[in-house]
A and B are shown apart, each in its own frame.
Chain A
Amino acid sequence: MKRILPLLMLAALVCTSAFLAVQTVMAQDTITKLAPAAFGKLTRPPAVFNHDKHNEKAKLEECVVCHHGGADGKQDKTASTEGTPCSDCHKVKPAGKATSLQRAYHKQCIACHRAKGKGPLACGQCHVR
């Protein structure tokens, strides 16, 4: 009995940290809609985007296709930034010619759908009521 308690505690610790690790890696699989806080109150229904299912169906293996990097007005298409919200770099009301947050989402999502001839193009296909 004396040896079992520490063993149980160790097991619990391992499980918790493994769970937490999986949580951080797998957080994207819980995304089904996009409603970034940066917009405040949304004027449209949140866009449907089932992160993992979408990328599986669209056969997108490279995370950097969407999670690019960059700074000082220059996009870096090689630096992967998955986990960093778009709103960290794209402001709702940006200064100068920088891509606004709404424009960033629209451009990225719609440009690819247009190029592939598949995926939603019209407002209500993404902003589903």
Chain B
Amino acid sequence: MNAAYEFVTGPLAWAAWGIFLLGSGWRLYSMRQLAMKKDASSWAFMDLGFSLRSIVNWLIPFNALGWRKNPVMTVTTFAFHICLIAVPVFLVAHVVLWTEFFGVSYATLPDNVADIMTLVVLAACLVFAGRRLGQKEVAYITTGKDWLALVIVTLPFLTGFLAYHQVFDYQVMIIAHIVAGEIMLAAIPFTRLSHMVFAAFTRAYMGSEFGGVRHARDW
């Protein structure tokens, strides 16, 4: 078991981070090349002011028209994304590992708060799944890729919760959790999760087009 744990926290962790960082860089670079070639006119309109204006306005809950249209999804989406990022970054156990491996340490969330935030992520995943199944207009455009992204995100939180509470075999669960987290990292550039990398640029593009060309708001 020690050998398996060493493998998933060593070589496999390096591989996952490498694929995530290099993959994201490569996806951004190829998207930029594509945009410059296929949409050179819009490229010329890219504007930092309009970009930031759109990003900031969409970051405020219920500010954009799109947010006001669907309050349940807005609350779920904001809660989900905040917990999704904050829990893994500020979890005590993860910071203990940063300290163990690299000697760095920083602020953490209390364990019981992180526990509740994990449940928020899992509950949000259920809401997303229910929407894809139950809401006709969403079910219609749902593909296997959407389900894959949802499963990839759910697993690290589910296994992490079970490992923390030491439900089932701990040694198996902790290794499953680490592998699930690594799959998620490595999958970000190449699945629907790539919106993590592209979201800001998508908004910047829309913001610049609406602000600079149509002289309108895009929120």
Which of A32-40, A74-82, A119-127 forms contacts with chain B?
A119-127
Q: Are A129 and B100 in contact (CB under 8 A)?
A: no
- Knowing A43-B111, A103-B99, A106-B96 are in contact, say whether A124-B163 is a contact too (CB < 8 A): yes
Q: Which residues 149-174 of B have a CB within 8 angstroms of A?
A: 163-166, 170-171, 174
Question: Whole-angstrom distance between the alpha carbons of A128 and B164 in the complex?
Answer: 10
B110 / chain A contacts, CB cutoff of 8 Å: 43
B170 / chain A contacts, CB cutoff of 8 Å: 122, 124-125
Which of A2-10, A13-21, A53-61, A110-118 forms contacts with chain B?
A110-118
B3 / chain A contacts, CB cutoff of 8 Å: 117
Question: Whole-angstrom distance between the alpha carbons of A106 and B3 in the complex?
Answer: 19
Q: Are B96 and A128 in contact (CB under 8 A)?
A: no
B58 within 8 A of A: no
Interface string of B61-97 (1 = CB under 8 A from A): 0000000000000000000000000000000110010
A107 / chain B contacts, CB cutoff of 8 Å: 100
- Knowing A121-B2, A124-B166 are in contact, say whether A110-B92 is a contact too (CB < 8 A): no
Of B2, B5, B100, the most chain A CB neighbours within 10 A belong to: B2
Q: Are A122 and B171 in contact (CB under 8 A)?
A: yes
Q: Using a Cβ–Cβ cut-off of 8 Å, how many residues does chain A contribute to the interface with B?
A: 18
- Knowing A43-B111, A128-B166 are in contact, say whether A123-B2 is a contact too (CB < 8 A): no
User: Which single member of A106, A117, A124, A128 contacts B2 (CB below 8 Å)?
Assistant: A117
User: Which single member of B5, B99, B111 contacts A122 (CB below 8 Å)?
Assistant: B5
- Knowing A117-B3, A121-B6, A122-B5 are in contact, say whether A106-B166 is a contact too (CB < 8 A): no
A119 / chain B contacts, CB cutoff of 8 Å: 2
Task: Write the nearest CB–CB distance from A103 to chain B, whole angstroms.
Answer: 7
Q: Look across to chain A and name the residue whose beta carbon is closest to the beta carbon of B177.
A: A122
Question: Whole-angstrom distance between the alpha carbons of A104 and B93 in the complex?
Answer: 16
Q: Are B6 and A129 in contact (CB under 8 A)?
A: no
Interface string of B26-69 (1 = CB under 8 A from A): 00000000000000000000000000000000000000000000
User: Can you give 25 A-B contacts (C-beta < 8 A)?
Assistant: A43-B92, A43-B110, A43-B111, A44-B111, A103-B99, A106-B96, A106-B99, A107-B100, A113-B2, A117-B2, A118-B2, A119-B2, A121-B5, A121-B6, A121-B9, A122-B170, A122-B171, A122-B174, A123-B93, A124-B163, A124-B164, A125-B170, A125-B171, A128-B166, A129-B165
> Which residues on B are within 8 Å of A, measured CB to CB?
2-3, 5-6, 9, 92-93, 96, 99-100, 110-111, 163-166, 170-171, 174
Given A106-B96, A124-B170, 6 other A-B residues pairs in contact with their CB atoms under 8 A? A43-B110, A113-B2, A121-B6, A121-B9, A122-B5, A124-B166
